[in-house]
């Protein structure tokens, strides 16, 4: 029985435009084997569009992609366009309009990839980041610009509903893994929001008695990610803490070039968005140097979210085989370009 999915593609800027074609090529290849077909609609939403038209996407952009089954994003960002423009002009509107309150970041140290840490073999954990509130709120402002008395105020927003649902997701995920959750906090210094976070996470833990909960202050947790990366299973964190920890964890894995992410609406009432986390890398754009693995792994996450775990597993097995036995891109110490690496990976699919 065949299944079809309509995917919104947002290649974006720089190497984002170079890693999306390998990801769709892998999707199409594994889809043929499993009776899954994909239709793609591509959107030119990017910093380049902002530079020419004054907006990252059109006013009705969200309506244009609301009906898609999922969104696959390459990367956005370009010199001359401030980072907050691409974030608040494209990424955050999509995440919030489509209730993508889970940012899922799997971390694994693969055979054939050299971690900067001596004791990182076999590391396999997931960062579950709250993706819609917390420290990245729109509440605040600036006064007295340019004067000696200038000030800026930024308010963090934590709600019981928001913390509860991200904690529930983390505990449910841990039940399918090694049954251990680490909660990132800073309740010894941030006296309102972080104790509230701790209280709600502990309340939700009571509904999952088979999962062990450990609470760690963010500074100590960052150190332990480097010193004891193998001790983690699922890490749940607020928007800011999760953002920082997940990039640190990707470095532990050997390269941010392979790191994927999913911005999930777990209820599937809206499309979820999947993207590599490496950024647009304008310094290597157009040079056949981009590592497509982050986009390919993100595509595998998308397949799993759409209900095709066997097809997703074939992609990740091919990835593991390629890294262990085949060529690698330069960020991983190899010499292969984007095109050659993709061709070899495709050949490893069943």
* Total Cβ atoms within 10 A of residue 61: 20
What pLDDT is attached to residue 253?
87
Residues 37-53 have pLDDT tens digits of: 999 999 999 999 999 99
Neighbouring-strand partners of residue 126 = 106, 234
Find tokens 């889809």 and name the residue.
31
Query: Does the 115-253 domain belong in CATH 3.40.718.10?
Result: yes
Average pLDDT over residues 325-332: 90
Q: What is the torsional sign of CA 197, 200, 202, 208?
A: negative
Question: Per-residue b/e over 280-290, b at no fewer than 16 CB within 10 Å?
Answer: bbbebbeeebb
Task: Report the percentage of the chain scoring pLDDT > 90.
Answer: 90
Find tokens 């991983």 and name the residue.
332
The rounded distance, in Å, linking the Cα atoms of 297 and 72 is 11
Distances (CA, A) of 320 to 112, 113, 127, 348: 9, 10, 20, 10
The rounded distance, in Å, linking the Cα atoms of 267 and 102 is 11
DSSP 329: B
Find tokens 């397949």 and name the residue.
303
Q: Name the residue ranges covered by the structural domains of the chain.
A: 1-100+257-350, 115-253
Neighbouring-strand partners of residue 106 = 126
Residues 23-38 have pLDDT tens digits of: 999 999 999 999 999 9
CA angle, 305 then 310 then 311, to 5°? 75
pLDDT higher than 90, residue 119: no
What pLDDT is attached to residue 257?
86
Residues 246, 214 contacting (CB under 8 angstroms): no
Q: Which fold does the domain 1-100+257-350 belong to in CATH?
A: Isopropylmalate Dehydrogenase (3.40.718)
Average pLDDT over residues 232-259: 93
What pLDDT is attached to residue 1?
58
pLDDT higher than 90, residue 120: no
What pLDDT is attached to residue 114?
86
What pLDDT is attached to residue 18?
97
Task: Assess whether the region 1-100+257-350 and the region 115-253 belong to the same CATH fold.
Answer: yes
The rounded distance, in Å, linking the Cα atoms of 340 and 259 is 20
What pLDDT is attached to residue 227?
92
The rounded distance, in Å, linking the Cα atoms of 155 and 244 is 19
Is pTM beyond 0.85 here? yes
Residues 67-100 have pLDDT tens digits of: 999 999 999 999 999 988 999 999 999 999 999 9
**Which among 265, 280, 263, 305 is positioned nearest to 27, based on CA atoms?**
305
What pLDDT is attached to residue 115?
86
Average pLDDT over residues 166-176: 98
Average pLDDT over residues 201-218: 97
pLDDT higher than 70, residue 215: yes
Residues 329-350 have pLDDT tens digits of: 998 889 999 999 999 999 999 8
What pLDDT is attached to residue 350?
87
Helices 218-227 and 239-252 sit at what angle, rounded to 10 degrees? 10
What pLDDT is attached to residue 254?
85
What pLDDT is attached to residue 276?
96
**Which among 300, 268, 294 is positioned nearest to 281, based on CA atoms?**
294
In which band, very low, low, confident or very high, does the pLDDT at 191 lie, cut at 50, 70 and 90?
very high
The rounded distance, in Å, linking the Cα atoms of 260 and 275 is 6
Residues 277-297 have pLDDT tens digits of: 999 999 999 999 999 999 999
pLDDT higher than 80, residue 2: no
Average pLDDT over residues 231-250: 95
**Which among 159, 162, 123, 112 is positioned nearest to 344, based on CA atoms?**
112
DSSP string computed for 30-94: HHHHHTEEEEEEE---SHHHHHHHSSSS-TTHHHHHTTSSEEEEEE--BTTB-HHHHIIIIIHHH
Q: What is the mean pLDDT of the chain?
A: 95
pLDDT higher than 90, residue 112: no
What pLDDT is attached to residue 333?
87
What pLDDT is attached to residue 30?
97
């Amino acid at each position: 029985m065949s299944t079809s999915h309509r995917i919104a593609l947002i290649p974006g800027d720089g190497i984002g435009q170079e890693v999306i074609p390998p990801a769709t090529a892998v999707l199409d290849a594994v889809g043929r084997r499993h009776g899954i077909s994909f239709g793609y609609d591509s959107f030119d939403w990017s910093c380049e569009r902002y530079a020419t038209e004054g907006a990252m996407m059109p006013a009705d952009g969200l309506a244009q992609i609301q009906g898609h089954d999922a969104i696959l994003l390459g990367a956005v960002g370009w010199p001359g366009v401030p980072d907050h423009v691409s974030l608040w002009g494209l990424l955050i509107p999509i995440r919030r309009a489509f209730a993508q309150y889970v940012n899922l970041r799997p971390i694994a140290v693969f055979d054939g990839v050299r971690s900067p840490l001596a004791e990182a073999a076999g590391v396999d954990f997931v960062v579950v980041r709250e993706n819609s509130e917390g420290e990245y709120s729109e509440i605040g402002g600036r006064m007295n610009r340019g004067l000696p008395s200038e000030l800026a105020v930024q308010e963090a927003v934590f709600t019981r509903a928001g913390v509860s649902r991200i904690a529930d997701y983390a505990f449910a995920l841990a039940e399918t893994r090694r049954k251990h959750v680490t909660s990132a906090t800073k309740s010894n210094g941030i006296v309102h929001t972080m104790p509230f976070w701790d209280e709600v996470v502990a309340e939700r833990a009571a509904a999952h008695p088979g999962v062990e909960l450990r609470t760690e202050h963010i500074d100590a947790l960052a150190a332990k990610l480097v010193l004891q990366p193998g001790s983690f299973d699922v890490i749940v964190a607020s928007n800011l803490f999760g953002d920082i920890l997940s990039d640190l964890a990707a470095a532990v894995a050997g390269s941010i070039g392979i790191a994927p992410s999913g911005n999930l609406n777990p209820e599937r009432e809206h499309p979820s968005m999947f993207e590599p986390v490496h950024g647009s890398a304008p310094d290597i754009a157009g040079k056949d140097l981009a590592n497509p693995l982050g986009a390919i792994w993100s595509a595998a996450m998308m397949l799993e979210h759409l209900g095709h775990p066997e097809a997703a597993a074939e992609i990740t097995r091919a990835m593991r085989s390629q890294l262990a036995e085949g060529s690698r891109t330069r960020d991983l110490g190899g010499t292969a370009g984007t095109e050659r690496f993709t061709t070899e990976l495709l050949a490893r699919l069943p």
